[in-house]
């Protein structure tokens, strides 16, 4: 694969109810990324956004973001999935050879709409909706129980993921304030409000407001823009069956296949020794363990045994992950940005020492139906 | 000057925002006609009236789909065989939902389950009978279809699933 570099980024701080207008937030992210890279509007040749019509309260939701996202009189398009999928679209645009700079931005404001209620409308209207009340949280309950049951994983082990990520979030100034919990205990997690047993409130990535932006450039351009580009060495993506009943919920096959694809592109043979840090989009705490296993960091059912703290053997979500705040359409993009920060040494208090290779993932759908994984490497 | 199109007022929510205001709007796509194919499930719907269950099978990969699927995603062909399956099933996995009645405020505990019918390769979303104690629910619990008295040939003919006595050997290990 021709080398494509990440040459800039910007993330608006996560808020549960941001004192921002939608336009201003998008502008802050896109302009911020451009400023950080020392570029101008005229340098932009393509803009890929990730938003959702429902979440934005209007149809063709990229029509109103043209000016604030930098798309005015430029090549512009939208992905209605996760921000990490928008990075893939941007990457493809750059690989086409027609573009020297792609702006990829994504995010929404969950304070403006009922996020989990909206996801109730994700189930099949003819077969599933009439039968039972199932939204993303209920289906996460299905998955968490199937995973625990198959491998004998305990709720405490899953709660430990929450404790770790919220503690990491406390070191990340851009994480959601409500999620920055340095002194959380396993007991607190298990005793927090039950959402869909066995899933408790603190195991759910809290929907919030934010927008993030990322800049992509082909190799030659990237080296002109910055002396610290981060290279996309491999990408893999995969889509599992729509019906929950057609899938093995105790694992995540689409993540497994996405990882295989990304690893083969990047030439990764032994992920647990070659990867220095992972930023994974865990919409629910148990997903982090399932993903870690599918990524080859541990055997099936043994995800909880990885020492994934910031100074551990294989740090996972040092930024706090999605449990540190989940702005719909932005979360996967933020994972990519956080992995970039680790590789350029800009992660501050949650910097993983000597990180050279990282993976970042994005997902969409119930029980992480669709997964995308990037292998990134510092210059 | 014409005042015909002049905007009279805007009802803002006055909250302690410094830089923004919130304008309540509606974006509620409540009305939609879901158009779906019944050709592939007509025999299944007809059988429901007789309290019988059938599933369709892909003759390429032999997977048995319940409820019937239009297309086998794996082989990218239409399943072309019908097979009988039993009305007995087991709980594949479940989550307990807490549903609040908007009028009384009463919270109901309801287990939402993925049901694995004996003879099928897929599971389906369902609810258990109201008399099943959520605390007694477990993965692998045997259950059975509870038919609606008046059946119309639709998926709702399966009202919910009743608990069946579990005489399996591994139960004593389970508890
Ligand atoms: Zn097939």
Instruction: Tell me the pLDDT tens digit for each residue of A143-158.
Output: 999 999 999 999 999 9
Q: How far is the CA of B76 from the centre of ligand 1 (A)?
A: 7
pLDDT tens sequence across B95-127? 998 888 888 888 888 888 999 999 999 999 998
Q: What is the CATH number of the domain that holds A25?
A: 3.40.47.10
Structural domain that includes position A79: 4-114+208-225
For chain B, the structural domain boundaries read 39-174
- pLDDT beyond 90 at A293: yes
In a domain, A369, yes or no: no
Q: Write the DSSP assignment of B100-148 as a string of letters.
A: EPTTT--EEEEEEEEEEETT-SSEEEEEB-TTS-GGG--TT-EEEEEE-
Q: Cβ separation of B95 and A21 shorter than 8 Å?
A: no
- If phi > 0 it is left, if psi is from -120 to 50 it is alpha, else beta; for residue B42 that is alpha
Residue A378 belongs to some domain of the structure: no
Neighbours of ion ligand 1 (CB under 5 A): B 58, 60-61, 72, 74-75
Q: Considering its fold, how many domains does chain A have in total?
A: 1
Cα distance between residue A210 and residue A172, in whole Å? 15
CA-based nearest distance A361→chain B, Å: 25
By three-state DSSP, how is residue B84 classified? strand
Host H or E run for residue B65 = strand B64-65
- Please report the pLDDT score of residue A357 as a whole number: 98
Residues of A in contact with B19 (CB under 8 A): 19-21, 24
Q: Is residue A305 part of a domain?
A: no
Stated length of chain A: 379
- Three state DSSP letters for chain A: CCCEEEEEEEECCCECCCCCCHHHHHHHHHHHHHHHCCCCHHHCCEEEEECCHHHHCCCCCCCCCHHHHCCCCCEEEEECCCHHHHHHHHHHHHHCCCCCCEEEEEEEEHHHCCHHHHHHHHCCCCCCCCCCCCCHHHHHHHHHHHHHHHHCCCHHHHHHHHHHHHHHHCCCCCCCHHHCCCCCCHHHHHHCCEEEECEEHHHECCECEEEEEEEEEEHHHHHHHCCCCEEEEEEEEEECCCCHHHCCCCCCHHHHHHHHHHHHHHCCCCHHHHCCEEECCCCEHHHHHHHHHHCCCCCCCCHHHCCCCCCCCCCECCCCCHHHCECCCCHHHHHHHHHHHHHHCCCHHHCCCCCCEEEEEEEECCCCCEEEEEEEEEC
Residues of chain B found within 8 Å of residue A195, distances taken between Cβ atoms: 98
Chain A: closest CA distance from residue B121 (Å): 8
Q: What is chain B's length?
A: 175
Q: How far is Cα B6 from Cα A374, in angstroms, rounded to an integer?
A: 52
Gap from B52 CA to chain A (nearest CA, Å): 18
Q: Which two tokens stand for residue B118?
A: 């004996």
Question: Which chain A residues have a beta carbon less than 8 Å from that of B94?
Answer: 141-142, 145
Mean pLDDT over residues A298-315, rounded? 97
Give the model confidence (pLDDT) of B153-171 as tens digits: 888 899 999 999 887 766 5
Arithmetic mean of pLDDT, B47-76: 93
pLDDT in tens, A176-222: 999 999 999 999 999 999 889 899 999 999 999 999 999 999 999 99
Name the residue among A20, A58, A196 with its Cβ closest to that of B95: A196
Contact pairs from chain A to chain B, CB under 8 Å: 105
Q: Is the pLDDT of residue A130 over 70?
A: yes
Report ipTM (2 d.p.): 0.78
């Amino acid at each position: 694969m021709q080398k494509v570099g990440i040459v800039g980024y910007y993330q608006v701080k996560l808020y549960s109810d941001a004192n921002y207008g939608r336009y201003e937030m998008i502008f802050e992210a896109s302009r911020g990324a451009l400023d950080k890279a020392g570029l101008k509007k005229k340098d932009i040749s393509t803009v890929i956004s990730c938003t959702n019509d429902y979440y934005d309260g209007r149809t063709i939701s990229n029509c109103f973001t043209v000016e604030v996202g930098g798309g005015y009189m430029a090549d512009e398009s939208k992905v209605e999935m996760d921000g990490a999928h928008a990075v893939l679209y941007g990457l493809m645009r750059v690989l086409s050879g027609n573009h020297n700079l792609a702006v990829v931005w994504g995010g929404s404001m969950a304070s403006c709409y009922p996020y989990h209620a909206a996801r109730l409308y994700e189930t099949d209207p003819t077969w599933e909706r009439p039968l039972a009340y199932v939204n993303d949280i209920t289906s996460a309950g299905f998955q968490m129980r199937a995973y625990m049951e198959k491998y004998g994983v305990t709720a405490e082990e899953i709660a430990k993921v929450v404790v770790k990520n919220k503690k990491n979030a406390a070191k990340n100034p851009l994480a959601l304030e409500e999620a920055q919990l340095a002194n959380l205990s396993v007991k607190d997690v298990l005793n927090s409000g039950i959402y869909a047993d066995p899933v408790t409130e603190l195991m759910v990535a809290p929907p919030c407001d934010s927008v993030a932006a990322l800049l992509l450039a082909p190799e030659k351009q990237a080296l002109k823009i910055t002396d610290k580009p981060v290279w996309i060495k491999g990408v893999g993506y995969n889509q599992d069956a729509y019906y929950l009943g057609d899938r093995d919920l105790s694992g995540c096959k689409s993540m497994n296949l996405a990882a295989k694809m990304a690893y083969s592109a990047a030439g990764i043979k032994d992920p647990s020794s070659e990867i220095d840090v992972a930023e994974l989009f865990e919409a629910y705490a148990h997903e982090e363990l399932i993903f870690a296993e599918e990524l080859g960091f541990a055997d099936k059912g043994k995800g909880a045994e990885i020492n994934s703290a910031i100074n551990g053997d294989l740090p996972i979500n040092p930024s706090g992950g999605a449990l540190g705040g989940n702005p719909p359409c932005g979360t996967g993009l933020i994972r990519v940005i956080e992995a970039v920060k680790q590789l350029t040494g800009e992660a501050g208090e949650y910097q993983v020492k000597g990180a050279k290779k990282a993976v970042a993932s994005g997902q969409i759908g119930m029980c992480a139906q669709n997964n995308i994984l990037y292998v990134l490497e510092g210059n | 000057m014409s005042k015909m199109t002049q905007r009279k007022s805007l009802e803002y929510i006055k909250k302690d925002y410094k830089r923004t205001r919130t304008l309540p709007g509606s974006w509620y796509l409540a009305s939609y006609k879901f158009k779906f194919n019944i050709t592939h499930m007509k025999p299944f719907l007809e059988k429901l009236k007789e309290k019988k269950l059938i599933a369709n099978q892909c003759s390429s990969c032999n997977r048995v789909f319940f409820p019937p699927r239009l297309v086998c995603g794996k082989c990218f062909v239409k399943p072309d065989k019908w097979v009988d399956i039993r009305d007995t099933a087991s709980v594949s996995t479940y989550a307990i939902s807490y549903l609040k009645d908007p009028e009384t405020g009463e919270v109901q505990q309801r287990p939402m389950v993925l049901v694995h019918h004996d003879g099928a390769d897929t599971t389906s979303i369902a609810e258990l009978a109201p008399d099943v104690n959520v605390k007694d629910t477990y993965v692998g619990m045997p259950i059975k279809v509870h038919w609606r008295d008046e059946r119309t040939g639709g998926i709702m003919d399966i009202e919910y699933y009743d608990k069946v006595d579990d005489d399996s050997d591994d139960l004593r290990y389970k508890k």
